[in-house]
Structure 1
């Protein structure tokens, strides 16, 4: 096991993960942390009330460069009952999964502006009501309290629907 220096940024990030994962369960937005993908899937299946939750991830089909630019080719509505799972800072893989209210999920096909650029299948989430969000999320997503906010899910996130 690797030691993390007590006053380091990594120690603060791990402490934040432990705080997030240790929050009391909220009936309005159930959440849990998991270190196994099988447990994440079981939680999502239970929360969504389905016999088997489907997983969606953002995929880059090829090699992307930092300067890659895309256009939207197609948008498909997925579901408004989802469980997104976010990777957390921790010495091993831990995901924070939750079932947000008032969301819409989309699959967005992106095409590179130049020939030979990779195609991207992106998963997007639109939050219809952000009036009770923590201010840090508005800074992260460049939005304002109460407005509709949509964002792509990074490639290391998993969304169950």
Structure 2
């Protein structure tokens, strides 16, 4: 399978990344950037439950753990993704010979047949620079390009003989509003002290930025939600239980109106991201 196939995958992935109807930013954690206000589906709030928050005044990016109590209704934004195949790892033998370094950008432009200055070239360059930055204090980070490298990285954290489990949110249908009110139908905690979130990066083939926060207490849930339109979503929900080390300028704290240490900070995962836990 040659670089023509990889380039086709890249174009599809880039389209999904840049489409404002999908997501404005998939590169950073713990954020899923604010959904553009044009994506509000305009549902009236007059028939909502009493514990419903108005869509017009609600930030769908971050929330707190009490908001996933069964029966509660909250606005949530899930991007529409037609096909997850661009987010599936290629085998290591398909990618190991391709340099993954900003020093090789001219070579990568030629290999993937992209023009310098194009959106595709810019995406490659930004992803490589992001992956090459120093990790935040107290975190073990890696940009992974194959399932084998994901397994090696996860076992280095979880344990060399451990089996791993990948959890991710389900896809929404094309008829589902990207932003609507959902009622919490069920919430199950995935009991583990080692949680490795991984986030899709724009690249010609699947690349995930994974990070593990050392000595940090996180709680992970699988939450079943029913939307106003009747559709169901099974979504990954992660809570960072100790926000005291965070900066007062943290976007998450600002959007929640909190100071560091006042509360946990939680968010749902879009279907293109994943979380690795022990089996």
Q: Same fold (TM over 0.5)?
A: yes
Q: 1:59 aligns with which of 170, 190, 209?
A: 170
Deviates more, 1:123-132 or 1:78-87: 123-132
User: What does residue 147 of structure 2 align with?
Assistant: 37
| Residues 29/134 of structure 1: CA separation in 2 closer, same or farther (3 Å cut) | farther
> Is it true that 1:14 corresponds to 2:128 in the alignment?
no
Distance in 1 (CA, whole Å) between partners of 2:120 and 2:219 is 33
Deviates more, 1:91-100 or 1:44-53: 44-53
| Structure number with higher strand proportion | 1
Q: How many residues align?
A: 157
1:10-159 to structure 2, matched below 5 A, reads: 11-24=121-134, 28-49=138-159, 51-60=162-171, 64-66=175-177, 68-78=180-190, 79-100=192-213, 101-114=216-229, 117-130=230-243, 131-132=245-246, 135=249, 138=251, 142-143=255-256, 144=258, 146=260, 147-159=263-275
Distance in 2 (CA, whole Å) between partners of 1:119 and 1:105 is 19
- Aligned residues: CA RMSD: 2.9
Measured after TM superposition, the shift of residue 133 of structure 1 is 5.4
Contact 1:32 1:97 survives alignment (8 Å): yes
Cα shift readout 1:107-142 (whole Å, capped 9, x = no counterpart): 11112334xx3321100111123333595x616993
Measured after TM superposition, the shift of residue 77 of structure 1 is 1.1
Contact 2:142 2:210 survives alignment (8 Å): yes
Larger of the two Rg values belongs to structure: 2
| Structure 2: gaps spanning 5 or more residues | 1-111
Distance in 2 (CA, whole Å) between partners of 1:33 and 1:154 is 18
Relative to the length of structure 2, the TM-score reads 0.49
Distance in 2 (CA, whole Å) between partners of 1:140 and 1:85 is 21
